[in-house]
Amino acid sequence: MSDPLLSRLKQLIVDTLKLDDIKAADIPDGEPLIGAGLSLDSIDALELVVRLEKEFGIKITNSEEARAALLNVAQLAAYIRAHASKDKLPA
């Protein structure tokens, strides 16, 4: 059974960055998001961080923390679980 948070994050990435030619389910959990893999750049990261902060009520304080959180979808899910309140997480 798929992790609802992973699924939510993948859809959020596709929607936020308008990745029209990518299906959310096709993004591997461990694939790098920035540079290699999805090849997102720092402007993409900025858009994603703004959306994540709004959606999950989290606060990412510096660019190094953002980069670590956005390593891949699995890492991002772990970060969200560690920092978001439970009521913000998908059931």
Instruction: List contacts with other proteins (CB under 8 A).
Output: 41-43, 46, 49-50, 60-66
Written as six digits, the tokens of 20 are 């029209």
Which one, 1 or 43, has the nearer CB to other proteins? Answer: 43
User: Nearest distance from residue 46's CB to other proteins, in Å?
Assistant: 6
Which one, 30 or 35, has the nearer CB to other proteins? Answer: 35
Which one, 18 or 59, has the nearer CB to other proteins? Answer: 59
Residue 13: partners with Cβ closer than 8 Å, 6 or more residues away: 19, 24, 27, 33, 38, 48, 73
User: Nearest distance from residue 80's CB to other proteins, in Å?
Assistant: 17
Cα–Cα distance, 15 to 24 (Å, whole number): 9
Cα–Cα distance, 67 to 64 (Å, whole number): 5
User: Nearest distance from residue 36's CB to other proteins, in Å?
Assistant: 12
Are the beta carbons of 10 and 27 closer than 8 angstroms? yes
